[in-house]
Amino acid sequence: MTAFVNQLPIGLSIGAVLLLIALGLTFTFGQMGVINMAHGSFIMAGAYTAYLLQDLVLALPAAFLVAGAMGLVLERLAIRHLYGRPLDTLLLTWGVSLVLQQLARDLFGAPNVQVSAPSWLSGGVGILPYNRLFIMGLAVAGVVGVWFYLTRTGLGRRTQAVVQNRQLAATSGIDTGRIDMLTFFIGSGLAGVAGVAVTLIGPVGPALGDYYIVDAFLVVVAGGLGQLRGAVLAALGLGLLNSYAEFWSDASLAKVIVFAVIIAFLQIRPQGMFVLRSRALT
Amino acid sequence: MIRRHLPFATVAVIALVAAPLLLEPFRLGLLAKYLCYAIVALGIGLAWGKGGMLTLGQGVFFGLGGYSMAMYLKLTEAGGAGGGLPDFMVWSGVESLPALWVPFGNPVFALGMAVLGPMAIALILGTLVFRQRVRGAYFAILTQALAAAMVILLVGQQGLTGGTNGMTNFFELFGQDLAEDSTQRGLYLVVASVLGLLYLATRQLVNSRYGRLLVAVRDGEDRVRFLGYDPALVKTVTFAISAGMAGLAGALFVPVVGIISPALLGVVPSLELVVAVAVGGRHALAGAVLGAVVMGYAKTAFSEQFADGWLYLQGALFILVMTLAPKGIAGISRSIAGRLRHARAT
Amino acid sequence: MLELRDVQVIFDGFRALDGVDLTVPEGELRFLIGPNGAGKTTLIDVITGLTRPAAGSVRFGGADLVGRKEHEIVRMGVGRTFQTSVVFEALTVIENLDLAATFRKPLWSLTRRRDGVSEAVEEALARTGLEELAERSAGVLSHGQRQWLEIGMLLAQRPKLLLLDEPVAGMSKDERERTGELLTEIADDHTVIVVEHDMDFLRRHASVVTVLHEGKVLVEGSVDEVSADPRVQEVYLGRRAGDAVGNRP
């Protein structure tokens, strides 16, 4: 029982990191249908930003801007030309992530580096270490922020309009190109924030993003496309499942178990937890 | 008729006669390795190019084939010298042969598992996923997750699989010394012939009614359903065929290259093969094969020159191919041929 | 032949079909009309298994269709077309037809190359008048030709019941005329249900008409009866005057 309780903060904080990453994917994959394999590299970029600054409070906005800017450039230079070809985009962005990873290796060296956590994050309440609590808080703030942006701001509503009917949105005077840029900026920026969060629980290396990105995509698959509720539940579920599977079985079996659970879940809910029902065929 | 088979015949003669005569053993070994990858690429060309299923987990099937073969090779050696246990098991303190390993001492079982094991997994996964109409990007993500999970499993089960290092130090296959040039040349001929036969069989399949049906499923799965076919069945069967090819390629790869390890079959190698197919041209089977050989060669050549530069070059290559020439080399050559024909006609 | 009883379909609280009863005897050419959102396409979706009704029964030749998979219903002899025609552009006209015709063969027997042209395909080509274009890629066909190819693909399957969703939408006057003739010809030896908006087309080619409105059957009868019915006029005229639908009885 104590083991069960002790494992809880680990599972929840992994879930929180996945949630932050998946929030970014909700924007780029969910809203725009782009499978961005470079999303993992943006996580890494955020983490290295934290490493360079060595100051958590500064790092959060800085990482958001750095990763967001990288996403913006990627969208303008390449992805924009491939809309409607999601699988090609996947391969293209993987090429980008290869280049970015090698760049990180050349700039910062292949060995892992450490970001020192601020002193006010050492310690904790009961079984909850402050650093993990902080990550959970960050995820909550991320969800609230995204929800507020999408439903309560004019730009967010326009974003939703573009998602639901691009042509109609364009004819009603929305500059869809700009919305795409903004959406990509925010989605990638969130990856940067997730990168900062990751530095609180582990070392930073060029392949940092690879470790999380596959799971984060699974969150989107299980949660349902472009669904905030689904992303939250799926991220927490996956985080907990991951850490408990690792704990109770062999660590090496955990991912297989997670995979099997996802496939089983898709037998019940093939389109994820929440689906926008529509009358269209596809 | 002759004209249609001429390109294939030319390539076959070069591959089976000229290459073994002209290439030094080291280079021939490398070519054999690329041809193993080309077999996987052929399967990807079928599943993705014709069937629209972007599979990012072919490394899993390749690996299952490879590990099956490696287990057999390890057991034949251990039977003689190692007291019944493969070397890496002795190092990691395993005391008796795990039950899972026992049947792999039989070459027929090992080879059968190399092909049928991947096919069975693909059949199960395909049935579960395609029946629920999970497709496109979702399918791609799931196969990638499978590849990631597989690597972690292989690394973690040190005593069963050799962990991160995998299995290496193979000395003989069916009584032939693997270090001998003649054995390697023979292996090369086997790999080249298998690739040739699989290519012909796949081309036959693609040109059959089944191939038309597959293309129709790719372009309009829902419409096909209303023609009275079950697209899930068509996709599952095709996915299983491509998995079987990858498994066979893995089984051939092990004696040719002399190693199998998780690093050869994870997320990255799986993606690299897909990209090779994209570079060669996904819509043409020959393009897929060509892409695998060209990318394999380029990787070796550039890694020899400047180790890190390859990643930049590879990354840049994808970006260029995806944005400028999504149909790959085959697409480019086809459009040039088309223009020439057009020019001649006018 | 086809019998729908009290069929209900609800999309997120919206009643797309609200207790529809429909009986189509064998050999009939039935037209289904109604203003936008009346539930015409939804009705076709229910019959072909694309949408599962919340309540009610759909029986075809005595067998219940509810809950069966789409391809199984096709195998029972129910074929349909879509509003936006989908033909396989990567294949030729004849390959499209052949694909449709071989759906009853087991999968393994399809691994052989097509050898010549089957009787069913030949017949479909002749009926739709696409013989000249047989070897052309379906991607080069005009809009009207695509619709004919779709109908041809249906014919090649030799179904008992054909469901055509707005087959003449977007067609030129000549094409409409030819399609109308094609429909009457097909109706000689098939049961056909046609969803159509176009009143003009209806007057020329329809015999029995069912009018749907707000998910219910409003009237059923001959073209003259239906067009003389005051309720139908109100539904259509009300629409035309830009009046909001739904407030009237």
- Give, as one character, the DSSP assignment of residue B322: H
Burial class (CB in 10 A: 0-12, 13-18, 19+), C19: middle
Other C-beta atoms within 10 Å of C109: how many?
11
Spatial separation of the C-alpha atoms in residues B134 and A110, rounded to whole Å: 38
pLDDT in tens, C83-114: 777 788 888 898 999 888 888 888 887 887 78
Q: Which two tokens stand for residue B249?
A: 């390629």
Q: Which residue has the tokens 């020192």?
A: A116
Over residues A95-99, mean pLDDT = 87
pLDDT value of position A68: 94
Q: How far is CA A269 from CA A25, A89, A261, A272, A273, in A?
A: 20, 26, 12, 5, 6
| Segment 65-104 of chain A within 8 Å of chain B by CB | 78, 81-82, 85-92, 94-99, 101-102
Query: pLDDT band at A72, cuts 50/70/90?
Result: very high
Spatial separation of the C-alpha atoms in residues C147 and C170, rounded to whole Å: 10
Spatial separation of the C-alpha atoms in residues A282 and B12, rounded to whole Å: 44
User: Which of A47, A24, A204 shows the shortest CA–CA distance to A113?
Assistant: A204
Closest Cα in chain B, distance from residue C100 (Å)? 6
Using the Cα atoms of residue A84, residue A85, residue A90 and residue A94 in order, give the sign of their dihedral. Answer: negative
Does the CB of B313 have a partner CB in chain A at under 8 Å?
Answer: no
Q: Flag whether A112 is in a domain.
A: no
- Chain C residues in contact with A280 by the CB 8 A cut-off are none
Kindly list the domain boundaries of chain B, sorted by start residue: 2-345
pLDDT value of position A45: 93
- Give, as one character, the DSSP assignment of residue B48: I
pLDDT value of position B3: 61
pLDDT value of position B34: 93
pLDDT value of position B4: 66
Spatial separation of the C-alpha atoms in residues C162 and C151, rounded to whole Å: 9
pLDDT value of position C204: 77
Does the CB of A281 have a partner CB in chain C at under 8 Å?
Answer: yes
The predicted complex's ipTM stands at: 0.84
- Chain C residues in contact with A276 by the CB 8 A cut-off are none
Q: Are B274 and A87 in contact (CB under 8 A)?
A: no
Query: B86: helix, coil or strand?
Result: coil
Q: Which two tokens stand for residue B195?
A: 């690739």
Q: How is domain C28-49+69-240 classified at the CATH fold level?
A: Rossmann fold (3.40.50)
User: Which of C189, C205, C219, C157 shows the shortest CA–CA distance to C26?
Assistant: C189
Q: Flag whether A242 is in a domain.
A: yes
User: Which of B67, B19, B60 shows the shortest CA–CA distance to B43?
Assistant: B60
Spatial separation of the C-alpha atoms in residues C154 and C87, rounded to whole Å: 12
- Chain C residues in contact with B233 by the CB 8 A cut-off are 107
Name every residue in C having a CB less than 8 A away from some CB of A.
Answer: 11-12, 16, 42, 50, 82
The subunits that touch chain C, with at least 3 C-beta pairs less than 8 Å apart, are: A, B
pLDDT value of position A44: 93
Model confidence at A281: pLDDT above 50: no
pLDDT in tens, C7-56: 888 887 778 888 888 888 888 888 888 887 788 888 888 888 888 888 88
Q: Which two tokens stand for residue C6?
A: 């009290």
SS (H, E, C) A196-217: HHHHCCCCECCCHHHHHHHHHH
Measured between CA atoms, the residue of chain A closest to residue C37 is: A279
Q: Which residue has the tokens 């997750």?
A: B145
Give me the domain span that covers residue A198.
2-106+126-268
Q: Flag whether A60 is in a domain.
A: yes
Does the CB of B75 have a partner CB in chain C at under 8 Å?
Answer: no
Q: How many CA within 13 A on the CB side of residue B221? A: 20
Which distant-in-sequence residues (6+ apart) come within 8 Å of A37 by Cβ? A90, A93, A94, A96, A97, A213
Cβ contact (<8 Å) for C82 and A279? no
Burial class (CB in 10 A: 0-12, 13-18, 19+), B83: exposed
Spatial separation of the C-alpha atoms in residues B169 and C76, rounded to whole Å: 60
- Chain A residues in contact with B137 by the CB 8 A cut-off are 29, 33, 35, 86-87, 90
User: Would strands C216-222 and C208-213 be described as parallel, antiparallel, or unpaired?
Assistant: antiparallel
User: Which of C225, C154, C217 shows the shortest CA–CA distance to C18?
Assistant: C217
Q: How many CA within 13 A on the CB side of residue C17? A: 28
Spatial separation of the C-alpha atoms in residues C91 and B212, rounded to whole Å: 7
Q: Which among C12, C50, C82 has the least Cβ separation from residue A277? A: C12
Q: How many separate helices (H) and strands (E) can be counted in chain A?
A: 11, 2
How many domains are there within chain A? 1
pLDDT in tens, A200-231: 888 888 888 887 888 888 888 888 766 778 88
User: Which of C77, C26, C25, C18 shows the shortest CA–CA distance to C47?
Assistant: C77
Q: Are A230 and A273 in contact (CB under 8 A)?
A: yes
- Name which residue leads in pLDDT, A282 or C67: C67
Spatial separation of the C-alpha atoms in residues C96 and C152, rounded to whole Å: 9
Spatial separation of the C-alpha atoms in residues B238 and B293, rounded to whole Å: 23
Model confidence at A280: pLDDT above 70: no
The subunits that touch chain A, with at least 3 C-beta pairs less than 8 Å apart, are: B, C
pLDDT value of position B250: 94
Q: Are A194 and A125 in contact (CB under 8 A)?
A: no
Spatial separation of the C-alpha atoms in residues C87 and C74, rounded to whole Å: 17
Which distant-in-sequence residues (6+ apart) come within 8 Å of A228 by Cβ? A26, A143, A146, A147, A150
Measured between CA atoms, the residue of chain C closest to residue B205 is: C111
Q: Which among A97, A221, A255 has the least Cβ separation from residue B142? A: A221
Which residue of A41, A82, A255 to mutate against B (max B Cβ within 10 Å)?
A: A255
Does the CB of B293 have a partner CB in chain A at under 8 Å?
Answer: no
Spatial separation of the C-alpha atoms in residues C21 and C217, rounded to whole Å: 7
Cβ contact (<8 Å) for C99 and B208? no
Closest Cα in chain C, distance from residue A83 (Å)? 21
Cβ contact (<8 Å) for A263 and B142? yes
- Give, as one character, the DSSP assignment of residue B166: -
Cβ contact (<8 Å) for A281 and C11? no
Measured between CA atoms, the residue of chain A closest to residue B48 is: A87
pLDDT in tens, A113-160: 888 777 777 777 777 788 888 888 999 998 898 888 888 888 888 887
Model confidence at A276: pLDDT above 70: no
Q: Which two tokens stand for residue A184?
A: 């990509």
User: Would strands C191-195 and C29-33 be described as parallel, antiparallel, or unpaired?
Assistant: parallel
Other C-beta atoms within 10 Å of C54: how many?
13
The subunits that touch chain B, with at least 3 C-beta pairs less than 8 Å apart, are: A, C
pLDDT value of position B2: 54
* Predicted model pTM: 0.88
Cα B230 to chain centroid, rounded: 27
- Over chain C, what is the mean pLDDT? 82
- Chain C residues in contact with B222 by the CB 8 A cut-off are 86
Which domain CATH number covers A224?
1.10.3470
Q: Flag whether A114 is in a domain.
A: no
- Name which residue leads in pLDDT, C62 or B123: B123
Cβ contact (<8 Å) for C11 and A277? yes
Spatial separation of the C-alpha atoms in residues A90 and A33, rounded to whole Å: 10
Q: A–B: how many Cβ contacts below 8 A?
A: 127
Q: Which among C69, C70, C111 has the least Cβ separation from residue B205? A: C111
Instruction: Flag residues of chain B having pLDDT under 70.
Output: 1-4, 78-83, 307, 343-346
List, in sequence order, every residue forming a beta bridge with C216; answer none if it has no partner.
C213
Torsion of CA A94, A100, A102, A104, to 10 degrees: -150
Q: What is the length of chain C?
A: 249
- Chain C residues in contact with B237 by the CB 8 A cut-off are 107
User: Which of B195, B184, B183, B193 shows the shortest CA–CA distance to B293?
Assistant: B195
Using the Cα atoms of residue C80, residue C65, residue C110 and residue C157 in order, give the sign of their dihedral. Answer: negative
Does the CB of B179 have a partner CB in chain C at under 8 Å?
Answer: no
AA letter at B187: L
Over residues A252-270, mean pLDDT = 83
Model confidence at C246: pLDDT above 70: no
Closest Cα in chain A, distance from residue B312 (Å)? 5
Q: How far is CA C70 from CA B285, C4, C50, C65, in A?
A: 32, 17, 6, 10
Give the DSSP H/E element, type plus range, for residue A273: none
Torsion of CA B241, B242, B243, B246, to 10 degrees: 130
Cα A264 to chain centroid, rounded: 23
Other C-beta atoms within 10 Å of B305: how many?
9
Cβ contact (<8 Å) for A270 and B132? yes
Which distant-in-sequence residues (6+ apart) come within 8 Å of B13 by Cβ? none
User: Which of B293, B248, B315, B225 shows the shortest CA–CA distance to B69?
Assistant: B248
Query: pLDDT band at C67, cuts 50/70/90?
Result: confident
- Name which residue leads in pLDDT, A38 or A80: A38
Cβ contact (<8 Å) for B145 and A217? yes
Closest Cα in chain B, distance from residue C99 (Å)? 7
**What are residue A200's phi and psi, to 5 degrees?**
-75, -20
User: Which of B41, B262, B38, B260 shows the shortest CA–CA distance to B147?
Assistant: B262
